Amino acid sequence: MPDIVSGEDGGKTYGELWPEYIRKQKRLIARALELAGSDIPDQVAIESIGGGWTGHEALAIAIYSAIKHQDSFEDAVISCVNHSGDSDSTGAICGNIMGCLLSRSAIPAHFTDKLELLDIIEEMANDLYTGSLISEYNHYGTPEMARWDEKYCNFHWEPIK
């Protein structure tokens, strides 16, 4: 977390601007890591972190489930959504962490078999992974940026008839 704490905004570090948020996030992540190493049932551990209604809690819950079930995409996501709080948010964050950790091949087929637009989602994910230049940095005027602009920025949606 040093990059988050030391990043600058208006000449001040984030830690100087929002010290209470940084402390809270660090505390919740430390708690999540501690709980992941325990034998406490997932639901009890997650409820002790919070409901996931804030970004701090949602990230800590996702980290808890990802660490606790680091070898199983399915177990991590199921753990992360089986609580009474903002489970869709915690599950989405955990799914992203587990996808990065274990790769696309670890996602069970029954999670994706009926997923709408799967081919488009996978194409976009592959494009982002392999070097999309769509960013805040200026690559305009290069052939590579023109290709990305054409693919993702200069299109027009047509209604389905």
The 3-state DSSP class for residue 3 equals helix
Per the structure block, which two tokens stand in for 137? 């940095």
Q: Where are the domains of the chain?
A: 2-108, 118-153
Residues 63-100 have pLDDT tens digits of 999 999 999 999 999 999 999 999 999 999 999 999 99
User: Largest Cα–Cα distance in the chain?
Assistant: 56
Model's pTM, two decimal places? 0.77
Closest C-alpha to 52, from 90, 109, 14, 105: 90
Closest C-alpha to 52, from 71, 35, 32: 32
Residue 89 burial class via C-beta count within 10 angstroms: exposed 0-12, middle 13-18, buried 19 and up: buried
Residues 11-36 have pLDDT tens digits of 788 778 888 998 999 999 999 999 99
